[in-house]
Structure 1
C-alpha cells in the first residue's frame, strides 16, 4: 500500500471532491471506491465519500499497489490498410476494443497487434497500449494509425495535439437535420454526475469543435459526414446528442429504447489524413462503408 497524508485546507469541502483536486492522478470515482473500501480516514476514522471536511483535519489515503497486467499476443485477423517499418494503419471492426482494460483483457486490437508486429511497436504507452496513438470506441468502426517505434509515436502524438491529423467520420443520426452543413462548438468534459460519461460542460470542459455535412435524409434519420477539429473523448456522440440528434444505436448518449438492432452506435471513421513520420509525405487513407452501415441505410430507404 502507498500511504498519502494530507492536511485539509478548505472548510466544508466534500472529501472525494477535495482529494480528486489534490491527487490529480486519481479520479473522483476511484477515490469514492477507496472510501467504500475503508482506505481513506480522517484523523484515524474511516469516512464516506460525502464526508464534509474541516480545516486542519488530517486525511490519510492508502492506495493499493496497481495490478500488473500481462498482455498476451493473440492470433486475431487484422484488416491492414497500410504498413511499413514506422506505422501501421488498421480498419478496426465494430465491436473490437482498442486496448486491454478492466473487463477486456483479451481479444483487443493490442492483442492482435502484438502477434502481428512482435516487438515492433512503440513502448511509450507501456505494456497495455503499445503503439496506440489514438483510439476509437469499441462500437465505432474504421481507421486508426498505430506507431511501430517511439519516434513515430512522438511525431504522431504532436500532430494530433496540433490538429494536423485529419479524421473524417460518417454517421446515421436520429431525426432530420435540415441545414446542409453545420458546426458544433461546445466544450466537452466529464459528466458532473455520471462520471463514466462525457457531456457538454461549459464550466470545466475543454474546447471541442465538430463540423457536419448532410449526405442524405430519411424519415426520422439523417446520414452525415463529420470532421473533427478537436479530438475529445466521445466527441461526435456527445455533440450529436447535445443538438438532439444522437447517433443511432448509441446506448450511452442516445435513445433509452433503440429503434434498430445495431449493437452500438452507427459511426464509422472513414478517412484519415496524416504526414508520414519518417518521409514527411502527406498520406490519405479511406475505407468503404461497412456492411452493418449499408444494411441500415437500405432499411431506412425502404421506409421512405
Structure 2
C-alpha cells in the first residue's frame, strides 16, 4: 500500500496556513478534480485524497492531533479501557459483562442531525426592497451516492460489532471495597457505532459522506432588512447514519445606496431646490426607488422640511 502523503502537501498549503487559506486551497482543487469535471484516470483518487485532507485540516481538534501525531492520530484505534479503570487498585474488572448478543437488543439512540451551515449573501438596495432570486454556491458533506451512507462497498449493510453485539456500548462490573458497581460506556471496538466496516466503500473511503459543490437558489422576499437571516430547512450538511440533514442559514447584507437610506419601511432621500423654488413653489422631477415622479413643492418651503410620498416605500414583509 502506498504511503499516505502529508495533508498539507496534498492541499499545497503551509503548516501555518489559516482556516481561510486551507478552505480556499481545497475549493480550488475540488473544482479542478471533481469527477464530474475531470475525466483523467487519477482525478478520482486525487479528489478523494483532498477530501480526506480537508476533513482533517478544517477541524481544529483533528488538525492539532494530526500536527502532533501525523496520520496515526486519525487512523489509529485507541482501544483500551474506555472507563479509565485499567490498573485500578480496587480489584478485578469483568469486561463485556453484558456484552455480545444480549446487549445488542438494547435500543440505540437515534442518529444525529447533520450540521447546520451559514453563509452571507450581498444584495443591492433595490434587491432588498423588491426581492430577488439568488443562486449561492455551497460545499457541504452529502451522503455518498455509491454506498448510500452505509460506508460499505455497494451499499451493503454493515455487520454488528462482535464486541457489543450492535448496541454501541459495553457494560462492566467493578469490584471495590464498597461492593460491586456496574458502569456502561462506548464500545472500544466500534466507538459506539454498533457496527464494523469490514468492506469500506472505495468512493468515500468508508466515511459514508463526501464533500460536494452545489448551487442553491435562494428566494429573497421583498422588504428584507439588512442583517436578516433566512432558514433553508434541510439544506445543511447531510447526517451520518441516516439522520436528518441540517439547515442552511443565509444572512443578508444590503449594500448602501448612493441616494437613498432606509428606516424600517420608510425610504428617505434629500433633494436640493433654489431659493425661488422654496419661496414661490414649483413642480420638480424627483427620483424614487420605483423611478422618477413629478412632485409639487409648496410655496414657503423651509430648509430641512420633509414631505411624504405615499406608497413609495418598502413593501411589508408580512404581505
Task: Please tell me whether Structure 1 or Structure 2 has the larger radius of gyration of its CA atoms.
Answer: 2
Query: Smaller-chain TM-score range?
Result: under 0.3
TM-score (norm 2): 0.21
TM-score (norm 1): 0.22
